[in-house]
Amino acid sequence: MENYARFCKPLLTRALVSIGLDKTYHRASGNFLYYKDEQDQEIPVLDLLGGYGATLLGHNSLLIRERIKHYLDEEIPVHNQFSIRKPAAVLAERLNELLKEETATSGDFVFCFTSTGAESMEVALKSVEFTRNAELVALEQEVAQATAKINGESVIALTDEQCQQLQLEEKASAQDIQRALTAFNQSRLDSKPTFLALEHAFHGKMIVTANCTHGTMYRDYLKRLKINTYFLSTEKLSEFVEMGEKANDILNGWLWLPQEENDRIILTKKKFRTVAALLIEPVQGEGGVYPLSAEQVSGVNQLKQIIRCPIIADEVQAGSGRCGFLVASSDVGIHADYYVLSKALGGGYAKIGVVAIRQESFTPGFDLIQSSTFGEDDFSCRVALDYINLLHADQRQLLKQVTQLGEEFKVRLHALKEDYPDIIRDVRGKGLIWGVEFHDVDDSDSYILQNIAVQGSLGYIISGYLLCGSHIRVAPSGSAANVIRMEPSVFLELRDIVRFVDELAKVCLAIRHANAGFIVAPILGKLNQSTPADYRSREVGQQNGSAANYKAAFINHLISADWLREVDPSFSIFSDEELESFVESTSFNLATKPFKPARISSVNGQSVDFTLYPIPVTSKMIKAALAQNDLARLRHEIDVRIAQAVESGNTVVGLGMFTSIITNNGKSVKNNQIGITTGNALTVGIGIEALQRSTSHRDITQMRLAVIGGAGNIGRVYAEILGPQYQEMVLIGSNNQGSVRKLNEVKYHIYQYIYEQFIVNKQPLMGGLAQRIVDCLALMPDDDFISQFNEGKTSIGEAIDHYLVQHYPDQVFIHISQSISDIEHSDVIVCAANASEAFISVDQIKRDAIVCDISVPHNLSDDDLRNRPDIKILRGGIVQTPHHDSLDPRVRAYLGEGQLYACMTETILLALEQHKDNFSYGNISTHQVLDIMAIARKHHFTLSDIKENSSL
């Protein structure tokens, strides 16, 4: 598998792993493919996918195999290009005979052999353009001759419209007219051909065929190649048919042909074909298994008459017997000019395709320029002939069997739909190609199913369930992820159909019961109960029909995979390891649905609808991405969610948990149409309040405070707000260059603050550092100490520092350090260092200290702390909502009823205040903390609880 991922399909391998389809089959026989499990046991898998339609006879059909052995023993040529190739001729003759009979036509066909479906379609498209080109060359000559007749003596009668189109002056000479006319007509003749195809069409993945394929993922990236395709919905098709000749004017082209009339030359409109072909599949496979409806058939036949273009029937999947006919169009009533076959035509062994072109639509010369190394090879042609003969032997016995077996599918799948009309939207098919379309599950009570819907992976997850749980192989249609497609062999046994439908019924019940766990279990290697338990929520209706005043969005992620049990109760069957494996393997696709909003109200009655936009990755995964500096994908996911939040009318978005760190505190975010906040200001504010509450019974004016990471964004704010209240403070910084300078700046800033607040503004003093400093400064002999020390060179803070150092050398006020051991005698320690892992040893911490570790990842590990129960640990504060409003219980994590995290609260407060700009963005400041605290008080969001868990 590793090499397949490394050298062949890096992303696809991840997708296969995520849905349990990452099997390696070593053997194939009849209706079964075989892989070996971890115990080296051979596991037979019932193959209903059938090589996307290629194995109508099953795998390694004995009926063909004997013939192939014979060809190999006979040493028949394979590469004898540029000679008269008899097996190709014999196959063509037989196909001609059968096609004429089946399509009830008398004329012959010309056959062009290829190797694959897309190649065959590409050849068909080239052939129609070859023919159209021949028509245009003839027309070009006719126009050139007619235009050459214009000369100095010609009387040319032009209408105003013509003059305008040819951009001619009123007095234009015959020569001017001739030149303008030639240029005008040439540009029209040179215009691109149009290929008409139907909605849901799939015609291959080569350049032109991909452009004729409806699914945008196959062609969007090719748009600069500018192939002109027009996709017709059933309504558009009827509209064109109703228009009649007008449709011809719209879809096809015209030019001005000079004609002599009563001694004058006039210009008449000459129509010509720009539509190269109209492409159809009698049963659209890849697009979602849609048999052509009677309305479409009639529309296609009529449109062909109106616009006079050839029809190409793409029978690559539906033909060669899959629908009980050599070409399924014959049964549907489409009279095509081209029939294209491949896939099953090779009997499950050979790679062969063929384009059958009606003699009258074929332009000789195309055969001179079209060839391919493998096209017409003797081996493939002989195998295809054997296959075709087998299908038609005993009065088309096998073809009849296809239809009969198809009936069994039809009856049983329709009965299943009757039982589960709420789960199965439609059952469609013909012969042995069937599709079951599921209703969208984006409204399921299961949040995992909702996300599966958003990721467009329902059909894939069902395929994974069927393979891992029941050893049945199906796959969704590439362009219709809610449709699972079945293309079994004609030798499928009835009991296998019954087994398949029974298993599908379990899936339907699991979906009905909102039980995503039941569907995912086998993919994670877990045995299921026989029937899926019911996890539908008993909640009735919406809590509040009216709209909230404002909307706020919040981006979060999983703390760890085990939280999925809360988010989706059907996942409670899984162990932590299984959940981790689920999150890891499905991280291939990170799309999620926003969680249904929680209504949070202010005390003033205004309300906010608060919506979580989760990213389904764990903190651990984000830490790994951070360590590898591999953040582009996660940042992109954040940007996608912000764009969604803007579109849904949110005015502010909070970057929760690690999303603030990976966006560099919001700075990497690309969107500027919404206010962004990390919520850090209130997180710090509430944390300070929590710390103050924890120390309220002690006299902090006699205590020593240590702030680790004191020069950092958050540590600095803690130091500035708390420092003046303590007896002394140590600011500890890293060994990084510049750290001492930054720590000193914080120190000076605090001294300046104390000076302004307590000396200039004469605020009341409550002891502690502020009191001590004011007292020292009051003892100054000369009141004008600032000018003495400042001398225009230093700030007030620095001046005070110099003064204190000079006059009180034995006292500690604010101590600057780069050594963690300086926390030793501290009573209260704030940890706000930015480190990738815990680095502070509990041994260095004083007995009964209070430690506030708000850093993420933590500076102190939970494990170490367990050995020191005397230390009171604090991880910040939790907010109480004014009206006891809560998040949905499934996403509360550690929160109780009526509680929110501070970062969420800040987001909500900004929405309530209709704050339009970014708030906690990049570094935060002390005044921002004080401002948001004031706003919180205004709306009555208060400190509820002291956070002691590592809840993020």
Task: Specify the residue for token string 């896939």.
Answer: 343
Q: Which CB atom, from 208 or from 510, has the smaller least distance to ligand PMP?
A: 208
| 465 in Cβ contact with 522 (< 8 Å) | yes
Q: Which CB atom, from 286 or from 445, has the smaller least distance to ligand PMP?
A: 286
Closest separation in Å from C-beta 281 to ligand PMP: 5
Closest separation in Å from C-beta 340 to ligand PMP: 7
Q: Which CB atom, from 55 or from 515, has the smaller least distance to ligand PMP?
A: 55
Closest separation in Å from C-beta 226 to ligand PMP: 22
Closest separation in Å from C-beta 332 to ligand PMP: 14
Give the Cα separation of 401 and 432 in Å (integer).
10
- The candidate with the shortest Cα–Cα distance to 231, out of 214, 206, 209, is 214
Q: Which CB atom, from 116 or from 592, has the smaller least distance to ligand PMP?
A: 116
Which residue number is nearest to ligand PMP in terms of Cβ?
A: 117
Closest separation in Å from C-beta 327 to ligand PMP: 12
Closest separation in Å from C-beta 115 to ligand PMP: 8
Q: Which CB atom, from 406 or from 656, has the smaller least distance to ligand PMP?
A: 406
Q: Which CB atom, from 117 or from 406, has the smaller least distance to ligand PMP?
A: 117
Q: Which CB atom, from 143 or from 312, has the smaller least distance to ligand PMP?
A: 312
Q: Which CB atom, from 289 or from 424, has the smaller least distance to ligand PMP?
A: 289
Closest separation in Å from C-beta 399 to ligand PMP: 19
Query: Coil, strand, or helix at residue 253?
Result: strand
Q: Which CB atom, from 52 or from 571, has the smaller least distance to ligand PMP?
A: 52
Give the Cα separation of 925 and 779 in Å (integer).
32
Give the Cα separation of 476 and 918 in Å (integer).
44
- The candidate with the shortest Cα–Cα distance to 731, out of 755, 754, 714, 753, is 714
Q: Which CB atom, from 23 or from 203, has the smaller least distance to ligand PMP?
A: 203
Q: DSSP per residue over 644-675, as a string?
A: HHHHTT-SEEEE-THHHHHTTTTTT----SSE
Closest separation in Å from C-beta 207 to ligand PMP: 13
For residue 653, the cross-strand partners are 553, 676
- Structural element, H or E, at residue 234: helix 234-243
Q: What letter does residue 80 receive in the DSSP assignment? A: -
- Residue type at 368 in one-letter notation: L
- The candidate with the shortest Cα–Cα distance to 334, out of 54, 104, 549, is 104
- The candidate with the shortest Cα–Cα distance to 303, out of 262, 334, 329, 346, is 334
Length of the chain: 952
Closest separation in Å from C-beta 376 to ligand PMP: 17
Closest separation in Å from C-beta 127 to ligand PMP: 16
Q: DSSP per residue over 657-721, as a string?
A: THHHHHTTTTTT----SSEEE--HHHHHHHHHHHHHHHTTTS-GGG-EEEEETTTSHHHHHHHHH
Q: Which CB atom, from 460 or from 921, has the smaller least distance to ligand PMP?
A: 460
Closest separation in Å from C-beta 286 to ligand PMP: 5
Q: Which CB atom, from 61 or from 342, has the smaller least distance to ligand PMP?
A: 342
Report the interface residues with ligand PMP, using CB under 6 A: 52, 116-118, 121, 202-204, 281, 285-286, 314, 316-317, 342
Query: Coil, strand, or helix at residue 587?
Result: coil
Closest separation in Å from C-beta 438 to ligand PMP: 21
Angstrom distances, CA of residue 506 to CA of 424, 439, 532, 570, 762: 12, 16, 7, 15, 76
Closest separation in Å from C-beta 116 to ligand PMP: 4
Q: Which CB atom, from 328 or from 722, has the smaller least distance to ligand PMP?
A: 328
Q: What letter does residue 783 receive in the DSSP assignment? A: S
Angstrom distances, CA of residue 894 to CA of 177, 688, 945: 83, 20, 11
For residue 815, the cross-strand partners are 730
Q: Which CB atom, from 52 or from 195, has the smaller least distance to ligand PMP?
A: 52
Closest separation in Å from C-beta 371 to ligand PMP: 18
Return left, alpha or beta for 666; rule: phi > 0 is left, psi -120 to 50 is alpha, else beta: left
Q: DSSP per residue over 36-59, as a string?
A: E-TT--EEEEEESSHHHHT-TT-B
- What is the DSSP pairing of strand 109-114 with strand 353-358? antiparallel
Closest separation in Å from C-beta 219 to ligand PMP: 14
| 718 in Cβ contact with 869 (< 8 Å) | no
Sign of dihedral through CA atoms 111, 112, 114, 117? negative
- What is the DSSP pairing of strand 290-291 with strand 283-284? antiparallel
Q: What letter does residue 521 receive in the DSSP assignment? A: G
- The candidate with the shortest Cα–Cα distance to 363, out of 383, 338, 345, 341, is 338
Query: Coil, strand, or helix at residue 844?
Result: helix
| 219 in Cβ contact with 209 (< 8 Å) | no
Give the Cα separation of 320 and 53 in Å (integer).
10
Closest separation in Å from C-beta 596 to ligand PMP: 39
Closest separation in Å from C-beta 121 to ligand PMP: 5
Give the Cα separation of 343 and 611 in Å (integer).
49
Sign of dihedral through CA atoms 246, 252, 253, 258? negative
Closest separation in Å from C-beta 52 to ligand PMP: 5
Give the Cα separation of 128 and 278 in Å (integer).
10
Give the Cα separation of 923 and 716 in Å (integer).
10
Give the Cα separation of 430 and 409 in Å (integer).
9
Q: Which CB atom, from 124 or from 146, has the smaller least distance to ligand PMP?
A: 124
Q: Which CB atom, from 346 or from 666, has the smaller least distance to ligand PMP?
A: 346
Q: Which CB atom, from 342 or from 650, has the smaller least distance to ligand PMP?
A: 342
For residue 255, the cross-strand partners are 270
Q: Which CB atom, from 121 or from 413, has the smaller least distance to ligand PMP?
A: 121
Give the Cα separation of 609 and 18 in Å (integer).
34
